Amino acid sequence: MTFRRLPSGGRIDRNRPVGFTLDGKRYRGFAGDTLASALLANDVTLVGRSFKYHRPRGIMSAGVEEPNALFTLHDGARTEANMPGTIVDLIDGLTARTQNAWPSVELDVMGINQLAAPLFQSGFYYKTFMGPTKGAWMFYEPFIRRAAGLGAATEAADPDRYETRFDFCDVLVIGSGAAGLAAALSAAGGGGRVLLVEQDSALGGGLLSEPEQDGWLQARLGEIRNASNIQALTHTTAIGLYDDNMVVLVERHDHRQPDPAKGQARQVLTMLQAKAIVFATGAIERPLVFANNDRPGVMLASAVRTYLNRFGVAPTGRAVIATNNDTAYAAAFDLAAQGVEVIVADSRTEIPADLQRRNSIEILAGTSVVDVKGKNTLHAVLDGAEQRTITCDVVGMSGGWSPVVHLTSHGGIKPVYNAAIAGFVPGGFAKTHSGAGAVMGTFGLNAAIREGAAAGGGSIAIAAAGGEDRPYAIVPTWMPPRRKGKAFVDFQNDVTAKDIKNAHQEGYHSVEHLKRYTTLGMGTDQGKTSNIIALAEMAELRGLPIEQAGTTTFRPPYTGVSLGAIAGRTIGGHFRPTRRSPLHDWHAANGGVFIEAGLWQRAWYYRWAGDTPESAYVKEMGLVRRGVGISDVSTLGKIDVQGPDAAEFLNRVYVNGFAKLPVGKARYGVMLNDDGIVLDDGTTTRISETQFYMTTTTAQAGEVMSWLEFLLQTQWTDLKVQVASLTDEWAGMAISGPKARAALELAFPGVDVSDAKLPYMGCLDFSFDGVPIRLLRLSFSGELAYEVHLSADYAISLWEHFLKTGASLGLKPYGLEALASLRIEKGHVAGLELDHRNTLDDLGLGKMAGKEKDYVGKALRQRPMYQAPERWSLVGLELLEPEKRLRGGAILFAKDDKIEGHGRGYITSVTWSVELGKTIALALYNGGLKHVGEEIVCAFPLKNELTRAKIVSPHFIDPEGKRLHA
């Protein structure tokens, strides 16, 4: 089998040679080539090995349906695996590598798999690796994963730029063949904005391979260019159709060799909203199923024609065209016109007279190709009718055409079988959708033009193409001839006709089950050439009409999409929003060291206290325990709850009562999920009879807001309540320590903050220098403490005011590490304990729950499993070995336990206690506080550490709460 570049012809630019390499060897093509066409022009026909059997494979198609010719492109961080060479534009300097072969595709060691082929039939993995022991799969899995796959992806960070954009149009036309061009021009006549998208590198679709229609094509392309309201995009694939006429497009710019340093995107993902959509997506030619139909040199007839007419590449010797329909004759006639000897093996006994009158080719009626001779290259085919061997360089097979109905099915409309074309067509359209051309089963050129013009609105007349349409005739053949040798249905996943018979015998009759049992259609090509053949064979085995067998479900994306295109610019620091406190700039300018806390950048510690977090936070803790400190708590969730039923609403949301909370008082509350698990805790203050001010944990602020809205919109629609997030509108700062009241008196002279006026859990609203201030007496540290809330615009001014007026008291800022450590000493649970796995009783908060009232999660909270006495529940730990350390996440075991498995609990939070002078921790332990005083072992396998600790109360300091009420 040999190929050559024709001396003239094609749509390539012969004045622009392009150099590229394959497996390190240099080749030359021309601008306008694809990698596949350039390889054929250089007579490179063996381009890979198959997935399972490692059989030699060549180029089969000329489009996105290509199952065999997959390459790894580029080097280093830009490495991209499993790219079909048929859609890769040839660019200067392109490097490509063949895949799934070692040491080379010519001599592949894993080709020995072909000898073990009887073992690798459908269901092989399910039957082989699930035993003989219960855990056998875990043993085999690493080896299976190493053997799986085709190309290898790079682990380096992608240096290229990807973008996401949003757009709209009045009419979207998908596909730029004759029907698509006619639809776009017709729609443009209505004056709306028209977007024409084409996945190929040029507009024209199948017309690019039909030189006799070039005049019509060029005239329409000129009209497209001159239409001010038509935007045409090439290299752009519509990968999915979604609700409300949203279509996702992926535009590839690799052919431009974009420079990310200049802000140029390699790919752009567009979410397009269209008023109307015209599907002119065409059809894909199907292969025929016969023994060894996967050998290099066996191609689709349409691909042979495309390489000939579009790229100027032709076989050097004889070509055999194997077909069961009329369309393959176009390839035969075009080859003959270029001097190639052609034999047509037509399985039909009756062939249209106008095709037989062409005397430039030999036609064998009622004849099928039943086998192929050759291994790495094609030598001959075996004629089933006369049992003769025909030497040839290429086989162009055509088993008919499958309309590209994928996008039309994404909305849930199933395709329907059209017996006239032996293929599935759209089963209907949404109100603003329509189809035209081959996707509708319309294969006549002029008929497709008329259909496209009508779909576009028929606003202007579209000129007809030259010549007359001839009817499309096909006598479908699905099952392979009975002959020794593998007859492939799915080329990429090595699924044969025999695999489909085995699936039928083993009861996998549903096409969805067939797909999963055999892996049919689960490769990068998603079964574009194999699906209908497989389901037709299964239908025949079951004795059903094809339409009753049904189809598999077509889901987005239509073609593979890079993760870069999906992510766009949401990478690195743009992966999720970075949130900053209103006081962020002050912290940055005054020695604050930041740490990520969810989305927030929070002050971890301050340089005034030390240069490392280990030393700084201890000093900051001492400041709060013995003097007074100020901390930024602006990140707490802040939600305004208003309405006549606000009190009733909160009474249902929280486990404890809020209906009778007095105005001007705050209350600590806990809310549960529906399943009885703790969702969040926080304090809520009653501002008036109809208004409450809720604070939540930083981590759960967004989830709590969503939860409240969900309850009001779906569960309690009768309640007159409105909720609004104030998290970004309000700043908050905590003033904590024995001298906290003195600091407030210095900052707000004339404002009574005495214990009588502002007792623990009290609230005071007042104005300071014209700025509304909300002062809450709350404590997260266990000390006398207050929270000051105000408009974010004035946060820095008030913060600096506090530091200035409190300087005589030694007031300084303290960071998140000290804040978290102070709450551990007090035994206050936070995010590490509120991990959506623990109940009220697990956290020692069960007594809070109201016994007479209803609240979310009440019923499921009473489940026996949740009330079991041996559940993991909150305890404190004290380190017994000062030379060692406790670590968060350490697994807990009783003193005499064998150190293995999940243990009896784990450590949630650890700190050094300035009060106790030792390391302490909060933990969840089996049976909880009934084990107080017992010695346990804390295991940290990652560092091979075992540490002794003692279980104590989680309230390490001031359990009576005297400091809170000072």
416: its two tokens: 């329907």
Q: For the chain, report the end-to-end CA distance as a whole number of angstroms.
A: 95
pLDDT tens for 135-155 read: 777 777 777 676 667 788 888
632: its two tokens: 């930024």
Residue 456 has a pLDDT of 95
pLDDT tier at 519, thresholds 50, 70, 90 = confident
pLDDT tens for 454-501 read: 999 987 889 998 888 988 999 999 988 877 889 999 999 899 999 999
User: In the chain, how long is the greatest CA-to-CA distance?
Assistant: 112
**Domains in the chain, CATH or no CATH each:** 161-283+404-455 (3.50.50.60), 286-400 (3.50.50.60), 480-549 (1.10.10.1100), 582-635+729-822 (3.30.1360.120), 637-725 (3.30.70.1400), 869-966 (2.40.30.110)
pLDDT tens for 215-257 read: 999 999 999 999 999 999 999 999 999 999 999 999 999 999 9
CA distance 735 to 307: 77
Please name the residues in contact with 113: beta carbons below 8 A apart, sequence gap of 6 or more. Answer: 52, 53, 54, 120
| pLDDT exceeds 60 at position 116 | no
For residue 282, which amino acid is it?
G
**Using CB atoms within 10 A of its CB, is residue 205 exposed (0-12), middle (13-18) or buried (19+)?**
buried
Distance, CA of 875 to chain centre? 41
Place of tokens 């020995």: 112
CA 110-487-352 angle, 5° bins: 145
Radius of gyration over every alpha carbon of the chain, rounded to an integer in angstroms: 37
CA distance 405 to 83: 23
The pTM (predicted TM-score) of the whole model is 0.79
Looking at per-residue pLDDT, the higher value among 676 and 121 belongs to: 676
Average pLDDT over residues 831-845: 92
CB 325 within 8 A of CB 396: no
Dump the DSSP string for 590-636.
Answer: TTEEEEEETTEEEEEEEGGG-SSHHHHHHHHHHHHHHS-EEEE-TTS
Average pLDDT value over all residues in the chain: 93
Bond before 545 cis per omega within 30 degrees: no
| pLDDT exceeds 60 at position 906 | yes
Average pLDDT over residues 412-416: 94
pLDDT tens for 523-557 read: 888 999 999 999 999 999 999 999 888 888 899 99
pLDDT tens for 71-106 read: 999 999 999 999 999 999 999 999 999 998 889 888
Which H, E and C letters describe 525-592, residue by residue? Answer: CCCCCCHHHHHHHHHHHHCCCHHHHCCCCCCCCCCCCCHHHHHCCCCHHHCCCCEECCCHHHHHHCCE
Average pLDDT over residues 660-664: 96
Residue 137 has a pLDDT of 73
| pLDDT exceeds 80 at position 357 | no
pLDDT tier at 132, thresholds 50, 70, 90 = confident
Average pLDDT over residues 790-796: 98
CA 680-685-689 angle, 5° bins: 125
pLDDT tier at 124, thresholds 50, 70, 90 = low
Average pLDDT over residues 23-52: 95
Place of tokens 């060479």: 85
Residue 113 has a pLDDT of 61
| pLDDT exceeds 70 at position 120 | no
- Residue 257's nearest CA partner among 244, 266, 269, 246 is 266
